[in-house]
Chain A
Amino acid sequence: MAKKRIISTSINGDSVEFLAAPRQTLLEVLREDLDLIGTKEGCSNGNCGACTVILDGRPVDSCLVLAVEVEGSEVETIEGVAPTDGLHVIQDAFLGQAALQCGICTPGFIMSTKALLEENASPTEDEIRFHLAGNLCRCTGYDKIVRAVQQAAEGETN
């Protein structure tokens, strides 16, 4: 295998250096080497969104990003969403609306929702559903997830 490289990046606001082989995905490095296990692996080929992180402000499937690509970038993961005291309004809304059952897709949905609301603070339901179509959930049927995003959007604009 090719030699590992040193990658310097910012993760959740902290400067982080890690070693990565060229073949490793960002998802793998986050989970295996950086102990950031909140980002989940559902399919490994970019179809389920469980591995969603925010990379330089854009939501991406981290299983489709090579770890070496994030040199110099800013990565936000689920671990960085909550403020130092309490929960983010999106996390609060997911709990209040019972928008999770098994919870495996929840980190990915919260990241996609965060990216959506940062771009569009008052999305319509159609915009919410369209924007979240890259995140699969098999437990909820999505209804309560949409309610949670709507609640979070109202919380942020109040």
Chain B
Amino acid sequence: MASVEERQFRVEPFPGGTPGNQRLVEEGRLPEYAVVGTRPIRHDGTDKVTGRARYGADIKLSGLLQGYVLRSPHAHARIVSIDTSKAAAVPGVHAVCTNADLPSASHRAGDLGEGVVDWYHLNQNVLANDKVLYTGHAVAAVAADSVHVAEEAAKLIEVEYEVLPPVLDVREARSADAPVLNDDVRTDRQPVGEQGDTPTNVAKHFHYEKGDVDTAFAAAELVVEREFTTETVHQGYIEPHTATALWSPDGKITIWTSTQGSFMIRMQVAELLNVPSSKVKVVPMEIGGGFGGKIAVYLQPVAAVLSRMSGRPVKLNMDRSNVFDATGPTPGSYMKVKIGVDADGMITAGEAELLFEAGAFPGSPINPGCMCVFACYDVPNGRIDGYDICVNKPRSNAYRAPGSTHVALATETIVDEICEAQGICPVEFRLKNAVKEGDERVDGVTYPPVGMWETIKAVELSDHWQSPLEGPHQGRGIASGFWFNFGGNSVVAATVNEDGTVSLIEGSTDIGGTRASISMQLAEILGIAAEDVTPTVVDTDSIGYTDVTGGSRTTHATGLAAIKAAEDIQAQLRQRAAILWDVDAEQVEYDSGATLTGPDGQSIGFQEIAGKLNQTGGPVVGRGSVNADKHGGAFGTHIADVEVDPDTGKVQVIRYTVVQDVGTAIHPSYVEGQMQGGAAQGIGWAINEEYYYGDDGRLHNASFLDYRIPTCYDLPDIETIIVEVPNPGHPFGVRGVGEVPIVPPPAAIANAIYQATGARLRSLPMSPPKVLHELLAADQ
């Protein structure tokens, strides 16, 4: 096998796409699939374009009450007393609840598959008990005949607060004299370290070391060390949180909600309400965006308690300001990163100090940040310290490759400085230093086959990189990024219908077209058309345990389950053909044309045998159940062209290309969609999005007007180049695709702004006031 540098590649249009959709192709290697790689219309598409698809807030039940949550006006306060009596007396009010109506919780750790939760902290976050820790923190809830009555009644709830000073900055929060948010938090040294013994806001300290960093820095030809800050940023899903609950007299709790993980919701609700999980049924409605923000519970347990107290089903919706104030944004941060290189531009050492805002309770993505900071390059000597620090902001939560975007800003802009100082082309630098199979990260894990190098090659060959910039105040930057992706549990069951179609059920809520990609994988194995598969996302009583739709896991793991279900069907159909032909099943073959053949030339097609199942033994149902572990990490490299207005500091993105290793693109349109959507979020994060707090800890821009995400008019076409370095851990080579595209944009744009203006920005967002400040400072 030739080394990666010796192989021949080209960039060409991806069949079926529009002119901006391309792929990297290796000479002499083109996988041939019948269904994988095509672009069928998604199965749930008609309902979504006609308004018939039912999202969380669309559920209607007879006797439904509407709820309203009362939230804290203070960023940090002790709750002295709560009196709900006046609210309960309002005509039309059926129930009022506080934390006192939840079972008490203990400080046990719950394992949510992709992370840990402290049940006590989650209980407190859902409804505050002795302290409120951020403005918008839920304190009480009312269920009434209409949301208007509930809101009017909630205003009559009397809460006495003892206001405390808030702490809003990570560096302040870790100092010894900072107000401590949670008396029970001690510094947990990870991985496999000891715990501290004094109350603190520093909930975790991650430490990684490889080789001898100090000697390596001392010997380096060039060392660059820089500091960076980022602000709190929200996932910005257009659909607010919603939950409808019915607590039946038989003790069964049904929850209709928009969620990334029905089984996650079931587990959290069961734990917080102290009921067996078999008593909780979660019915996933269609979901209007999640990006990591719809995995933890907020409204579900509260709606259930109100239902228990009122004897009626209760619906709770957040409004947009609640979503900004009181859900799970991604942390703001302070980072100090140092990289050393030798005279040839090879990285010899890397050091990072990372401080992430946990928000009200521990749990920022500091660990992935630590593991991603140098993940794109072969770094022989490294030292990383990461801190999870509580501040009076909403408890942070996952946002698409959590932590990776933050650290990529630091590493990728320092790399850019090194390239300039040493006169190396940024593409050349990355080709030389890119990680490959067998390289070891600073945390010690070695890489399986990965495509970092191939994404840089695609950049080099791209039309974008080869096109000159045309105007003044324009600049081009590139940046790379990494995400691990995730495997986890998935189950698929698939029934062969007598007309030769297959009904498939699965538990992965469909946020971005995964019904289609899962169906396509089953169809590919069976040799049938994607349109002949009918996928349905079902509730937690109807399918086996399935982990979240998130973590870039769904196409890989649920696809793997679908493949196993298809293979199970094949095995059963071979037995049925054997019965029809009176031969042994081992003598029957299933070919790629969906035809079964026997030892004496017998042959029967899928459609035909589907009509003979009842008489050969009964219905055929295939099943696949996996806990996938070989998911394969993914790399992306982006090219950003910007034009900066010298009078206002406004940064306009004028051309943008996303290059990403996806393993194998099952449905290229939805893969391209993930690439483009993630990039758009990263662009917003880079140049405009931030939580703006007053000194009192109140969020000032809790609306889409002032927390302004990119509109159609802000963005150019987003070109895509799909790179396919197959993941050996999946039969079709699938890698997760959803998260990597949000990682490179801030760094790519920072590098582009430097080329356009000569100003290096190290603080997100790179909004007009900050850019203008740098431009004016440079003028002086």
Residue positions of A touching B, CB distance < 8 A: 1, 21, 23, 31, 35-45, 47-48, 50, 77-79, 81-82, 87, 91, 94-98, 100-107, 110, 128-130, 132-147
Chain B positions within 8 Å of A31 at CB level: 57-58
Distance A129 CA – B681 CA, assembled complex (angstroms): 17
Chain B positions within 8 Å of A44 at CB level: 319-320
Task: Please tell me if the beta carbons of B289 and A139 are within 8 angstroms of each other in the complex.
Answer: yes
Task: Please tell me if the beta carbons of A104 and B148 are within 8 angstroms of each other in the complex.
Answer: no
Task: Please tell me if the beta carbons of B711 and A133 are within 8 angstroms of each other in the complex.
Answer: yes
Interface centre among A50, A101, A140 (most CB of B within 10 A): A101
Task: Count A/B pairs, Cβ under 8 Å.
Answer: 185
Residue positions of B touching A, CB distance < 8 A: 18, 20, 39, 41-42, 44-46, 48-55, 57-58, 60, 148, 235-240, 286-291, 317, 319-320, 511-513, 669-670, 672-674, 676-681, 703-705, 709-715, 717-718
Chain A positions within 8 Å of B287 at CB level: 102
Distance A106 CA – B53 CA, assembled complex (angstroms): 11
Main secondary structure of the interface of A (DSSP, over half): loop
Report B716 CB to chain A, min CB distance, Å.
9
Distance A9 CA – B513 CA, assembled complex (angstroms): 37
Task: Please tell me if the beta carbons of A50 and B238 are within 8 angstroms of each other in the complex.
Answer: yes
Interface centre among A44, A95, A104, A137 (most CB of B within 10 A): A104
Chain A positions within 8 Å of B674 at CB level: 101
Distance A136 CA – B712 CA, assembled complex (angstroms): 7
Q: List the B residue with the shortest CB-CB distance to A39.
A: B51
Task: Please tell me if the beta carbons of A87 and B49 are within 8 angstroms of each other in the complex.
Answer: yes
Chain A positions within 8 Å of B715 at CB level: 129, 141-143
Task: Please tell me if the beta carbons of A130 and B238 are within 8 angstroms of each other in the complex.
Answer: no
Task: Please tell me if the beta carbons of B718 and A38 are within 8 angstroms of each other in the complex.
Answer: no
Chain B positions within 8 Å of A133 at CB level: 711-714
Chain B positions within 8 Å of A132 at CB level: 711-713
Report B312 CB to chain A, min CB distance, Å.
16
Task: Please tell me if the beta carbons of A144 and B288 are within 8 angstroms of each other in the complex.
Answer: no
Task: Please tell me if the beta carbons of A144 and B705 are within 8 angstroms of each other in the complex.
Answer: no
Q: Known: A106-B49, A138-B237. Contact between A143 and B320, CB under 8 A?
A: no
Task: Please tell me if the beta carbons of B511 and A140 are within 8 angstroms of each other in the complex.
Answer: no
Q: Known: A95-B46, A95-B49, A146-B717. Contact between A42 and B240, CB under 8 A?
A: yes
Distance A37 CA – B342 CA, assembled complex (angstroms): 62
Q: List the B residue with the shortest CB-CB distance to A48.
A: B704
Q: Known: A39-B51, A138-B681, A147-B18. Contact between A98 and B320, CB under 8 A?
A: no
Which listed residue, B54, B235, B513, B703, touches A43 by the CB 8 Å rule? B703
Task: Please tell me if the beta carbons of B670 and A98 are within 8 angstroms of each other in the complex.
Answer: yes
Task: Please tell me if the beta carbons of A102 and B511 are within 8 angstroms of each other in the complex.
Answer: yes
Distance A128 CA – B670 CA, assembled complex (angstroms): 22
Q: Known: A101-B511, A101-B677, A104-B239. Contact between A38 and B320, CB under 8 A?
A: no
Selected A-B contacts with CB under 8 Å, 27 pairs: A1-B148, A40-B55, A41-B240, A41-B317, A43-B320, A44-B320, A91-B50, A95-B41, A95-B46, A96-B41, A98-B672, A102-B237, A102-B287, A104-B238, A104-B286, A128-B712, A130-B713, A132-B712, A138-B677, A138-B680, A138-B681, A139-B289, A139-B677, A143-B676, A143-B717, A143-B718, A144-B673
Distance A38 CA – B288 CA, assembled complex (angstroms): 13
In the complex, besides A77-B51, A133-B714, A138-B677, 15 extra interface pairs with C-beta distance below 8 angstroms are: A43-B320, A43-B704, A50-B238, A78-B50, A87-B50, A98-B42, A98-B669, A102-B287, A103-B288, A104-B55, A110-B49, A138-B236, A141-B676, A142-B676, A144-B669
Distance A82 CA – B48 CA, assembled complex (angstroms): 12
List 10 tightest A-B contacts by C-beta distance, closest first.
A38-B51, A104-B288, A141-B680, A98-B669, A141-B676, A103-B48, A78-B51, A47-B704, A133-B713, A43-B320
Q: Known: A40-B239, A104-B288. Contact between A95 and B677, CB under 8 A?
A: no
Task: Please tell me if the beta carbons of A136 and B711 are within 8 angstroms of each other in the complex.
Answer: yes
Interface centre among A78, A82, A103 (most CB of B within 10 A): A103
Distance A26 CA – B239 CA, assembled complex (angstroms): 18
Report A49 CB to chain B, min CB distance, Å.
9
Q: List the A residue with the shortest CB-CB distance to B676.
A: A141
Q: Known: A48-B704, A100-B45. Contact between A136 and B238, CB under 8 A?
A: yes
Task: Please tell me if the beta carbons of A48 and B45 are within 8 angstroms of each other in the complex.
Answer: no
Q: List the A residue with the shortest CB-CB distance to B714.
A: A133
Which listed residue, B238, B240, B511, touches A137 by the CB 8 Å rule? B238
Distance A138 CA – B45 CA, assembled complex (angstroms): 18
Task: Please tell me if the beta carbons of A106 and B712 are within 8 angstroms of each other in the complex.
Answer: no
Report A96 CB to chain B, min CB distance, Å.
7
Task: Please tell me if the beta carbons of A144 and B676 are within 8 angstroms of each other in the complex.
Answer: yes
Q: List the B residue with the shortest CB-CB distance to A43.
A: B320
Chain B positions within 8 Å of A38 at CB level: 50-52
Distance A81 CA – B317 CA, assembled complex (angstroms): 28
Task: Please tell me if the beta carbons of B50 and A129 are within 8 angstroms of each other in the complex.
Answer: no
Chain A positions within 8 Å of B669 at CB level: 97-98, 144
Q: Known: A103-B288, A138-B289. Contact between A42 and B713, CB under 8 A?
A: no
Chain A positions within 8 Å of B703 at CB level: 43, 45, 47
Distance A46 CA – B299 CA, assembled complex (angstroms): 24
Chain A positions within 8 Å of B18 at CB level: 97, 144, 147
Chain B positions within 8 Å of A100 at CB level: 45, 48-49
Q: List the B residue with the shortest CB-CB distance to A78.
A: B51
Distance A136 CA – B240 CA, assembled complex (angstroms): 14
Interface centre among B41, B51, B712 (most CB of A within 10 A): B712
Q: Known: A95-B45, A143-B717, A143-B718. Contact between A129 and B712, CB under 8 A?
A: yes
Chain A positions within 8 Å of B705 at CB level: 45, 47
Task: Please tell me if the beta carbons of B49 and A94 are within 8 angstroms of each other in the complex.
Answer: yes
Q: List the A residue with the shortest CB-CB distance to B237.
A: A138
Distance A101 CA – B18 CA, assembled complex (angstroms): 17
Report B460 CB to chain A, min CB distance, Å.
23
Distance A23 CA – B711 CA, assembled complex (angstroms): 30
Q: List the A residue with the shortest CB-CB distance to B288.
A: A104
Distance A51 CA – B704 CA, assembled complex (angstroms): 14
Chain B positions within 8 Å of A110 at CB level: 49
Distance A124 CA – B49 CA, assembled complex (angstroms): 23
Interface centre among A42, A107, A133 (most CB of B within 10 A): A42
Task: Please tell me if the beta carbons of A143 and B20 are within 8 angstroms of each other in the complex.
Answer: yes
